[in-house]
Amino acid sequence: MKTIFDSYPLWTVILANIFLLAVYLAGAYIIFTLSLVTGILYIIYIVLLEFYYLKEGCTCCCYYGKLCAFGKGSISALFFKKGDPGKFCERELGFKDFIPQVLVVLIPLVVGTAIIISRGFDFLFC
Query: Could you report the per-residue pLDDT of 3-19, keeping only the tens digit for each?
Result: 566 888 899 999 999 99
Q: From its phi and psi, is residue 120 left (phi > 0), alpha (psi between -120 and 50) or beta?
A: left
Given pLDDT bands bounded at 50, 70 and 90, which one contains residue 2?
low
Report the alpha-carbon distance of residue 56 to residue 112 in Å, rounded. 31
Q: Looking at this protein, which amino acid is placed at residue 100?
A: P
In total, the chain counts a number of residues equal to: 126
Confidence check: pLDDT of 61 > 70: yes
**Are the beta carbons of 49 and 24 closer than 8 angstroms?**
no
Report the alpha-carbon distance of residue 27 to residue 25 in Å, rounded. 5
Residue 97's alpha-carbon distances to 15, 60, 77, in angstroms, are 25, 17, 23
pTM here?
Answer: 0.81
pLDDT in tens, 77-123: 999 999 888 777 777 878 888 899 999 999 999 999 999 888 887 76
Given pLDDT bands bounded at 50, 70 and 90, which one contains residue 124?
low
Report the alpha-carbon distance of residue 72 to residue 14 in Å, rounded. 12
| Beta-sheet strands, E only, within the chain | none
